[in-house]
Structure 1
Amino acid sequence: MDDQNKNMILATALSFLVILGWFLLFPPEEPPAPAEQPVAEIGGDPATADVAAAPPAPDATATLPVESRDVALSAASRVQIRTDEVTGSISLTGGRIDDLSLVDYHETLDPDSDIVRLLSPVGAPGAYYTLYGWAPGGALGFEDVPGANTEWQIESGTELTPTSPVTLVWDNGNGLVFRRAMSIDDKFMLSVTQSVENSTGSDVRLAPYGIVARHGEPDTVNFFILHEGVVRMSDGELQEIEYGDMEDLDVNAAEAAQVEIIDVAENGWVGFTDKYWMTTLAPAPGQSFRSVAKFVPSANIYQTETRLPTQTVAAGATTEVQTFLFAGAKEWEAIKGYEENLGILGFVDSIDWGWFFFLTKPIFWLLHELNLIIGNMGWSIILLTLIIKAALLPLAWKSYASMAKMKELQPEMEKLKERAGDDRQKMQQEMMQLYKKEKVNPAAGCLPIIMQIPIFFSLYKVIFVTIELRHAPWLGWIRDLSAPDPSSILNLFGLLPYAPPEAGSIFAIVSLGILPIILGISMWMQQKLNPAPTDPTQAMIFAWMPWVFMFMLGSFASGLVLYWIANNTITFVQQYFIMRSHGYKPDIFGNMVSGLRKKSAKKDT
């Protein structure tokens, strides 16, 4: 490779190291714990237009938070939710779905640790819930429609399960009877059908809506490659809004909030996403609505809303509207199933595939399919690496053949360097003549590296954001491929009775586990097959690179380090046999001894 190509590779590698080093040594500050916030009320001006009226802004003077989640749960009568995947309850006050935990997901690897809690009631720390209702239109007032504190009654059903739906009812005493029929499948999707029966003797106008409300900014991972906050699809256009950016939305004086509204013609959904969990509202496909992202500064409440068109209910008639609520884990198979079976357009894009979505999606699909066959994500990653390397083999063959030829030309290049001395221009000219004579392309060796960069980042994204890798074991001590290698050289990999350093500490960076050490060795062995740079500075940097990467990648997810080890090993085997097929017999350990002798000779002189 000529100096220009070497500089390009060097710049890429150093930039990567700088970025990694910055985020390891100066991680983003943890957001402050959200303060307890008052109850969000629903209210506002009556609707007179053909589109949904705005639900009212939260009332900052409402009831103060209680001391604990248990007390908040006991403050209202409840209907239990029980499935194999979720457990929780629905508050009859407001008909809120505000208590939901995920049965199959624990906070830590300890099977006795708490299961993941998704939704919490108003008054509890980190209140997070969904609320449905009707905004009044025409002559109706807010006292005529159900709101946040309406006391619902159970009309049918005793608990919400996949085989037993529940219907709540509320009679306003003035001729309107409201019902809310809810059902749940065996995963994470609820169907909510709101209806109103009009026996007032005259037409009434009102507009259905759904709300997901979150009190205070939640504790997030806060990592630059991951989106957490509002996620929504509007007729095929995906939008993501970070929590901090919601505070910069346009001010809407009528709603006493900062709001962004998108009119959706046929298909859309909106909600909040965390790294692995999501709560999303999705009107029935074909239904127009207004998709709303809202921040209420007076109460520090974040909201997403679906405002459906205002409806006219004739005297003696009944109208109803169905919406879906996803509340659970972002399992690819489940979400894809809802997209295909319920027609929720683009729902699989609620998973944060990133800029390289054209790579992350097929890579994850292949990894998922391999895991279904093998039953182990670690071995699936290794097999995935083998498949990727096989697909790139034609390109790699040309590249490694060129490297083999370059390796053969090393003695000639050393002679050119001696003859040229300090005349770099003369050396470059003679090197180009040598390349031309021997029919060698010095840039060919860059192609595998260039191809590996987007694949590496795409797999990093897949391992970091997909829940299928969370707490996924490989073998032995690797019990979570989404977490760093837990072993440590400081306690001789568990032989000494000392706990390894805490993750994120400076000692964790230098402690090194078994996988990072294997990574460094695999990078060093692969490097020994490549021709050394003629420039001493570049040669020194390339010589140190495997060991620098060993430390830098040591704190990355085990699954990613495992991929890199597998990639290096397969690359080494491919390159070794390709070089031998071209008549060059690499001597890895001979190169190492020769290099040490050269260093020793330089010291003696």
Structure 2
Amino acid sequence: MNNQRNILLAVVLSAALLLGWDAAMRYFYPQPDNAVVATENSRDKVDTPAERSAAQHTRQGGLVDPLEIAEEKADLATALASPDRVRIDAPRIAGSINLQGAVVDDIVLKDHRETVDKDSGPVRLFSPRGTPAQQFAQFGWVGSNIAVPGAATKWEADGRVLSQASPVTLTHDNGAGLTFAIRFSIDENYMLTADQSVANTGGAPVVVQPFGLVNRTSRTASMDQWVAHSGPIGGFGDGAEYDYDYDDVDDDQRITPEGRMHWIGFTDIYWLTALVPQKGMAPDATFRALGNETYRADMIYEPVSVPAGRKLTLSSRLFVGAKESELLDSYEDAGISKFGLAVDWGWFRWFEKPMLWVLRTLFELAGNFGVAIIGLTIIVRAFMFPIAQKGFASMAAMKAIQPKMKAIQERYKDDKQKQQQEIMALYKGEGVNPLAGCLPMLLQIPVFFALYKVLVLAIEMRHQPFILWIKDLSAPDPATVLNLFGLLPFTPPSFLAIGVLAVLLGITMWLTFKLNPAQMDPIQQQMFAIMPWVLMFVMAPFAAGLLLYWVTSNILVLAQQSYLYSKHPQLRAAAAKDKDASTATIEGKT
């Protein structure tokens, strides 16, 4: 009776986990409502503040609500049609600068598409102020008792197109003896340089305070996960700051990170916007909440005096682009301190960065990112095999002395201290270390966690196909078993949308558990029997690349265990004996 009650309890708990997981996945992995069609009139429909506050974030970020997507499209068409813009046409980015306010508010990435569809547009990072996806940067000055350019200032440009070969200078004469200029240039990647200058043709010195800012909405932010930070970010002091999220800025309204500022901005899982000050200078840096889910990152230089008849120039930079690890490291090597840490590697970056290099190398050789993941998993498992072998050897040695240990325990069952002394003497005499079997397992944990995190963070996996139906390894497996991989005309609920890789994960994990020694406790046995299928549901919404890694790893574990059992037959015999004993125990209780 007790055993039946325990089985029922295990089933109920598993069902509760599945249903709870479905609710969590709908919260963390929201999908647009297919019933809502975004039309030209969608932006006229009611979209109350309450509805806006309920917006959810996806793993890769971007707008989710079809109404907001339609509104963004309409607003962009209006804002970008203005003739008062300087076009940006660089090797890897395109867009424009608004001459009203000298605002960089239109940036798309040429090398990255919005979706896997080859005809889809490029990823958009910057949108003008007031649009649903607003994000922009601005450089300017603060001054006391002088007229400085502001948001409504109309600047003059000496060119119509900003390219790598053709910088563009914006100028504004305040009519009171000061000429302000911003010379924009751009490199072959994602870095813009803004040379801010003030020429004083008046008769007295003036004091100005240059600044740079990035303004954005959090509605387009990617999810802030414990393995991948999304939100305010910067390089300060001896490291990078990942501790603040948008809610923290809302709570405090203004946050000033500690330490010398190297760069500041906002990050998503794959994208970064960052302000970089002039080398050798350390401006004040703050994150501010502006209300209505908008935020600002500021860098404000110390006030400087511009004597009469003199000109002051200060150079800042703006990174707007993809978090490509090698590129960020190259900027760090060129002098931007801690810039490579814009990728939230965490504690194990010394493992992760070499793994990413191997993954990229395998991808270059194989031409298929899924094959590269399989190859990297094989390499990591091969590297860890001697550790696993040592652990199995230790288990075999422990199994060999089990009869002697039981004899000691029986002989000194009333004297625990003497029992422990005799067991320790047995370990020493037989040359057995009881911790040697656990240590190899502990050593493997950071290595495999590092591999997992590499696959979460690597932008190289985004939109990469594998085989047949898997067109994007960074997205969940689209082929679900219950609708016969799309042949049946219905979409299963998310917690039942089990793809092929998830099924393979459950099967391979069940097989690995079958190879392990049986647990004497019937409840543990039941939980181990259920766990692979629970994990099959739990892991189904994760990126296909992660599932591919896990399935490959399980297959390698099966091969490894079979080989090591062949090398240590006493373990196989002990495992079989344990299973027989466990089965007999269960049958005796039923």
The 3-state SS of whatever aligns with 1:381 is helix
> 1:488 Cα shift?
1.7
> 1:386 Cα shift?
2.3
Question: Does 2:541 match 1:555?
Answer: yes
Q: In the superposition, relative to structure 1, how do residues 318 and 324 fare at CA in structure 2: closer, same or farther (>3 Å)? A: same
Work out the CA distance in 1 between the residues paired with 2:378 and 2:14: 24
Deviations 1:564-593 (A, max 9, x none): 2222222222332233233459599x979x
User: 1:229-244 maps to which residues of 2 (within 5 A)?
Assistant: 229-240=231-242, 241-244=244-247
Q: In the superposition, relative to structure 1, how do residues 501 and 338 fare at CA in structure 2: closer, same or farther (>3 Å)? A: farther
Give the partner amino acid of 1:238: A
Give the partner amino acid of 1:150: T
Q: In the superposition, relative to structure 1, how do residues 550 and 123 fare at CA in structure 2: closer, same or farther (>3 Å)? A: closer
Match of 1:202 in 2: 204
- Structure 2 unaligned segments of length 5 or more: list them: 1-12, 31-48, 54-71
The 3-state SS of whatever aligns with 1:68 is helix
> 1:545 Cα shift?
2.9
Q: In the superposition, relative to structure 1, how do residues 304 and 314 fare at CA in structure 2: closer, same or farther (>3 Å)? A: same
Match of 1:45 in 2: none
Work out the CA distance in 2 between the residues paired with 1:277 and 1:390: 33
- Percent sequence identity is 39
Give the partner amino acid of 1:483: A
Which of 369, 372, 377 aligns to 2:369? It is 377
Which of 360, 364, 367 aligns to 2:356? It is 364
Q: Is the 2:254–2:288 Cα contact (8 Å) retained in structure 1?
A: yes
Match of 2:560 in 1: 574
> 1:309 Cα shift?
1.7
> 1:220 Cα shift?
3.6
Q: In the superposition, relative to structure 1, how do residues 404 and 475 fare at CA in structure 2: closer, same or farther (>3 Å)? A: farther
> 1:291 Cα shift?
1.0
Q: In the superposition, relative to structure 1, how do residues 574 and 434 fare at CA in structure 2: closer, same or farther (>3 Å)? A: farther
Deviations 1:346-380 (A, max 9, x none): 01111122354444344334323433443332222
Match of 2:43 in 1: none
> 1:433 Cα shift?
10
Work out the CA distance in 1 between the residues paired with 2:73 and 2:585: 73
Match of 2:495 in 1: 506
The 3-state SS of whatever aligns with 1:368 is helix
Which of 60, 68, 73 aligns to 2:75? It is 68
Q: Is the 1:182–1:192 Cα contact (8 Å) retained in structure 2?
A: yes
Work out the CA distance in 2 between the residues paired with 1:525 and 1:438: 33
> 1:490 Cα shift?
1.1
Which of 523, 537, 543 aligns to 2:523? It is 537
> 1:385 Cα shift?
1.9
Match of 2:24 in 1: 26
Which of 291, 297, 302 aligns to 2:285? It is 291
> 1:153 Cα shift?
0.6
Q: In the superposition, relative to structure 1, how do residues 382 and 103 fare at CA in structure 2: closer, same or farther (>3 Å)? A: same
The 3-state SS of whatever aligns with 2:229 is coil
Deviations 1:246-285 (A, max 9, x none): 0122xxxxxxxx32235765x5100111221121100122
Q: Is the 2:512–2:557 Cα contact (8 Å) retained in structure 1?
A: yes
Q: In the superposition, relative to structure 1, how do residues 596 and 81 fare at CA in structure 2: closer, same or farther (>3 Å)? A: farther
Question: Does 2:247 match 1:259?
Answer: no
Work out the CA distance in 2 between the residues paired with 1:186 and 1:595: 67
Question: Does 2:297 match 1:304?
Answer: yes
Q: TM-score normalised to the size of structure 2?
A: 0.79
Match of 1:40 in 2: none
Work out the CA distance in 2 between the residues paired with 1:21 and 1:453: 29
The 3-state SS of whatever aligns with 2:228 is coil
Give the partner amino acid of 1:259: R
> 1:66 Cα shift?
12
Q: Is the 1:79–1:159 Cα contact (8 Å) retained in structure 2?
A: yes
Q: In the superposition, relative to structure 1, how do residues 77 and 293 fare at CA in structure 2: closer, same or farther (>3 Å)? A: same
Work out the CA distance in 2 between the residues paired with 1:73 and 1:539: 63
- Structure 1 unaligned segments of length 5 or more: list them: 1-14, 36-64, 250-257
Give the partner amino acid of 1:26: A
The 3-state SS of whatever aligns with 1:248 is helix
Work out the CA distance in 2 between the residues paired with 1:135 and 1:19: 55
Match of 2:484 in 1: 492
The 3-state SS of whatever aligns with 1:482 is coil
Question: Does 2:305 match 1:316?
Answer: no
Deviations 1:464-518 (A, max 9, x none): 2332221122222222222222222213345x3446536xx2222xxx2222222
Q: Is the 1:264–1:290 Cα contact (8 Å) retained in structure 2?
A: no
Work out the CA distance in 1 between the residues paired with 2:510 and 2:170: 67
Q: In the superposition, relative to structure 1, how do residues 330 and 217 fare at CA in structure 2: closer, same or farther (>3 Å)? A: same
Give the partner amino acid of 1:130: A
The 3-state SS of whatever aligns with 2:256 is strand
> 1:441 Cα shift?
5.8
Q: In the superposition, relative to structure 1, how do residues 499 and 438 fare at CA in structure 2: closer, same or farther (>3 Å)? A: farther
Match of 1:190 in 2: 192
Q: Is the 1:576–1:586 Cα contact (8 Å) retained in structure 2?
A: no
User: 1:475-486 maps to which residues of 2 (within 5 A)?
Assistant: 475-486=467-478
The 3-state SS of whatever aligns with 1:532 is coil
Deviations 1:50-74 (A, max 9, x none): xxxxxxxxxxxxxxx9972222233
Deviates most, 304-313 or 89-98? 304-313
Work out the CA distance in 2 between the residues paired with 1:455 and 1:475: 27
Work out the CA distance in 1 between the residues paired with 2:512 and 2:109: 45
> 1:109 Cα shift?
1.5
> 1:17 Cα shift?
12
- RMSD between superposed Cα atoms in Å: 4.0
Work out the CA distance in 2 between the residues paired with 1:439 and 1:477: 54
User: 1:96-115 maps to which residues of 2 (within 5 A)?
Assistant: 96-115=103-122
> 1:167 Cα shift?
0.9
Which of 371, 378, 381 aligns to 1:389? It is 381
Q: Is the 1:76–1:92 Cα contact (8 Å) retained in structure 2?
A: no
Q: In the superposition, relative to structure 1, how do residues 567 and 580 fare at CA in structure 2: closer, same or farther (>3 Å)? A: same
Q: Is the 1:33–1:219 Cα contact (8 Å) retained in structure 2?
A: no
Q: Is the 2:221–2:231 Cα contact (8 Å) retained in structure 1?
A: no
Give the partner amino acid of 2:282: S
Q: In the superposition, relative to structure 1, how do residues 386 and 263 fare at CA in structure 2: closer, same or farther (>3 Å)? A: closer
Give the partner amino acid of 1:284: Q
Work out the CA distance in 1 between the residues paired with 2:15 and 2:227: 16
Work out the CA distance in 1 between the residues paired with 2:559 and 2:425: 28
Match of 1:518 in 2: 504
Q: Is the 1:407–1:530 Cα contact (8 Å) retained in structure 2?
A: no
> 1:442 Cα shift?
6.0
> 1:448 Cα shift?
4.6
Give the partner amino acid of 2:24: F
Match of 2:342 in 1: 350
Q: Is the 1:69–1:125 Cα contact (8 Å) retained in structure 2?
A: no
Q: Is the 1:290–1:306 Cα contact (8 Å) retained in structure 2?
A: yes
Match of 1:272 in 2: 266
Deviations 1:25-61 (A, max 9, x none): 43447797658xxxxxxxxxxxxxxxxxxxxxxxxxx
From the two aligned structures, give the one with the greater helix fraction: 2
Give the partner amino acid of 2:106: D
Match of 1:3 in 2: none
Count of aligned pairs between the two proteins: 533
Q: Is the 1:217–1:243 Cα contact (8 Å) retained in structure 2?
A: no
Give the partner amino acid of 2:512: Q
The 3-state SS of whatever aligns with 2:313 is strand
